Amino acid sequence: MARHRPARGLRRGQPGVRTAPADPAVPAHPGAGVTTVLVLGGSGFIGGHVRAALRPHAALVCPGRRDVDLVACDVDELGALLRAARPDAVVACTGRLDGRADELVAANVSVTAKLVEAVAAGAPGARLVRIGSAGEYGPVPHGHAAAESDDARPVSEYGLTHLTATRLVELAAAAGRVDGVTLRVFNPIGPGLSADTVLGRVATLLRRATPGGRITVGPLSAHRDFVDVRDVAAAVAAAVRAPWLPQRVYNVASGRAVPVREAVRLMAEAAGFTGAVREDQPPPGRSAAVDWMCGDISRAARDLGWTPSYELAESVKASWAAMGA
């Protein structure tokens, strides 16, 4: 598989994970010696691939919603789950993409707050790896690759709730209560693509269309940084197994922005669709205010030894093929 070009600031041959602890107040992490990982949200798009990436390295505990409803449960219930599992790491592939503000707060902020408290009390030596979102950044200047040190100015309730959750993990880590980290995932694509994403919606339309027909979508001129979900899972595995983490937020992206129109063209090509794509629908509210998004991945390359492996065309083809079309 061909690799992406390195993002700005990323050089081939940069050193991988360091081995000296950044904060002696945080409990020691076993690094590559991780034996048990608790995966929350393991049945979702990202979670399923995270399970596949971690399975060769550790025993997995993957409770479903019947076992624990993260929104409805309290800290004591989560703590009991953690004490029973005795994990070396907890991976939270949880959260909500849309809905009312109170629903987003409950799923993205409150769940994270409960997880921080439960890990601190029930599994104090476990690393908490949380899936965040590029939506935390808000508008980014055209041509700029967003870095973790940039000011975050989310323009949606979704982005704001994810940013709040990220801050909660950062505060707990700074206080030495939890060895926590957030991976800010950009636009994930690949096998099992969610229908809630722009390419997922396009794929659904293409499945229903005749080869020479017409589909109608929203504006496609925005630039997005699409990252393969299998690369996301590899980044999670790297964060789980790193001996220590000098930072508490890492971008997980391809490092390259492309017009959404180009990604849709690739999807249509994979589907054998030769008809018209009309951009007559209104843009989705969650991302309408952001016309450019690209992630600087040099921090993840330096500290986690991670860079993406899949090209966009590869990921789009895999997304379409996995739909069984």
Q: Known catalytic residues?
A: 158
With tokens 């409990």, the residue in question is 27
Residue 206 is encoded by which pair of tokens? 């293409």
The helix/strand/coil state of 132 is strand
Instruction: Calculate helix-pair angle for 198-208, 312-322, nearest 10 degrees.
Output: 50
DSSP letter (8 states) at residue 136: G
Residue 270 and residue 325 in contact, taking contact as beta carbons nearer than 8 Å:
no
The helix/strand/coil state of 29 is coil
Cβ atoms within 10 A of the Cβ of 27, count? 16
Cα(115)–Cα(131) distance, integer angstroms: 13
User: Residues, the chain, total?
Assistant: 325
Residue 140 and residue 292 in contact, taking contact as beta carbons nearer than 8 Å:
yes
Cα(134)–Cα(163) distance, integer angstroms: 9
Residue 98 is encoded by which pair of tokens? 């849309």
